[in-house]
Amino acid sequence: MDISQEFNRYVAHLSEGLGHADRHAGLSGYCTGLMLPLSRKSVEPMAARVDPLHASARHQALHHFVAKSEWSDATVMARVRDWVMPSLGLDGGRYWIIDDTGFPKKGKHSVGVARQYCGQLGKQDNCQVAVSLSLASVQGSIPLAYQLYLPKDWAGDAARRETAGVPEDITFATKPEIALAQMRQAIGQGVPMGVVLADAGYGDETAFRDGITALGMLYAVGIRPGTTVWAPGTAPLPPKAWSGRGIRPTKLRREPGNEPMTVKALAMALAPQVWSTVTWREGTNNELSGHFTALRVRPAHRDYLRPEMRPEEWLLIEWPEGEDEPAKYFLTTAPEEATLEQMVFVAKMRWRIERDYQDLKQEFGLGHYEGRGWRGFHHHATLSIAAYGFLMAQRLKAGCNASSKKNFAQRQVPAVPKDYVPRGSPARAASRIGLDHDTAPALKRRTRKRPGTLSALQLDKSETTFMTQ
């Protein structure tokens, strides 16, 4: 089937989730614009490229579709998932990847903008941050859910909420809480469970790890060097013996000489022979490998408030060759019989989300939306993911043929006429020849100085195991 025909079939599939047939043109036009080779994929340049002879009218129509139209992001995302998922090869291993991404923003009026950590900049700055859940296999991945993180100052500001159109049911939630809600929603929609992967921003939260376990899934999540655990052969002391008077002691105890330690201190004390070189996959130019070890430990966070010890988990540690200390630490609930190679492979599958965000930002304009409202922010992201989903499905069907997007752009939209002048260009200003007017005097301005092999996961109600193919 011709790629343009396949795209039309895809858009028709998504349109069934829009609620009204008259929204089909907006969906088709917006996704078409997102897939074209434009340097800026906001509404105006896309309208000018998709329909250059009626750019103004198309600009208004696309703006209304993305910023005002009341269609459901969750419904459209579910239809994107249903289209892509059969091509992912999930029988070979399933991974649920949690992450967030930031978009630098000026001003304070765009919904959710605040001074916070921005991964794109690698520092604290004015930005918006969104949390996402992706479903991945070794072949590819697709976002399942995407939600803006609303800082406390925004969540409690009724005036700004109303101006930006933040729904009443959206209250303040931490990023791990948003991620857990996204996972619950995905389970409710029947998405096949997988091993949950996340970086230390999520994995260091005990409640987040406990929430994953409560959902019936395994995890392999990053943690920070200062996270405390009980080293192999150590454990908290049982509650004190009851004297027969007062309240019976129920809390675990720590004493000098019997205390947990940080994962960094534990790693630095290990003997050199416990480290092994593991290769987890082929990179662009060579194989990716590193030095790893894994130990059975018990997480220790505030266990002195608990009556029972936490179960043992694997602590996976990566120490790059030539470095003075380990670089990464992971906690994973992989089965006790899991091999080091399996755990490394699974933990490293997080690279898929990095590829998702790279493509979504560079190729599909994920961060190019220029509106300020909640609805427009999420509608634009949903449509960017929809355009990405079409390309991902085409790549998977064609064996990762990266030319699909180029072929689509060549076939779907006619060339811009040579005499076309973009909207807003000075060349489109009305001619003033012959008008009776006085020339305005020039203003004097003061000058200012401005400063491996895939590990397959099988999950059912009776047992969860890691398996190699």
Torsion on CA atoms 383, 386, 388, 390, rounded to nearest 10? -140
pLDDT bucket at 360, cuts 50 / 70 / 90: very high
Q: What is the pLDDT averaged over residues 327-350?
A: 96
* Any domain includes 306: yes
In this predicted structure, what is the pLDDT of residue 126?
93
Calculate mean pLDDT across residues 132-155: 96
For 235-271, what is each residue's pLDDT tens digit? 998 888 887 788 888 888 898 989 999 999 999 999 9
Reference 195, options 469, 397, 468, 464; nearest CA is 464
What ranges make up the beta strands (E) of 20-122? 95-104, 114-118
Residue pair 362/105 in contact by the 8 Å Cβ criterion = no
What would the two tokens of residue 414 be? 């006619």
Residue 453 is predicted with a pLDDT of 33
Q: What is the pLDDT of residues 386-415, one digit of tens each?
A: 999 999 999 998 875 444 554 554 445 544
Q: Are strands 195-198 and 95-104 parallel, antiparallel or unpaired?
A: parallel
Closest CA to 313 of 329, 293, 335, 328: 335
- Asked, for residue 380, whether it belongs to a domain, the answer is no
The model's confidence at residue 421, banded by pLDDT at 50, 70 and 90, is low
pLDDT, residue 408, reads 53
Mean pLDDT of 208-222: 98
Whether 207 is in a domain gets the answer no
How many other C-beta atoms are found inside a 10 Å radius of the C-beta of residue 448?
A: 6
pLDDT of residue 237: 85
Is 200 a member of any domain? no
Q: Is the residue at 297 inside a domain?
A: yes
The reported pLDDT for the residue numbered 450 is: 35
Q: Would you say residue 302 lies in a domain?
A: yes
User: In this structure, is residue 156 part of a structural domain?
Assistant: no
Residue 442 has pLDDT above 50, yes or no: no
Domain count of the chain? Answer: 1
pTM for the model stands at: 0.85
Residue 394 lies in a domain: no
pLDDT of 47 over the 80 cut: yes
* Domain residue limits at 262: 217-243+250-349
* Confidence category of residue 157, pLDDT binned at 50, 70, 90: very high
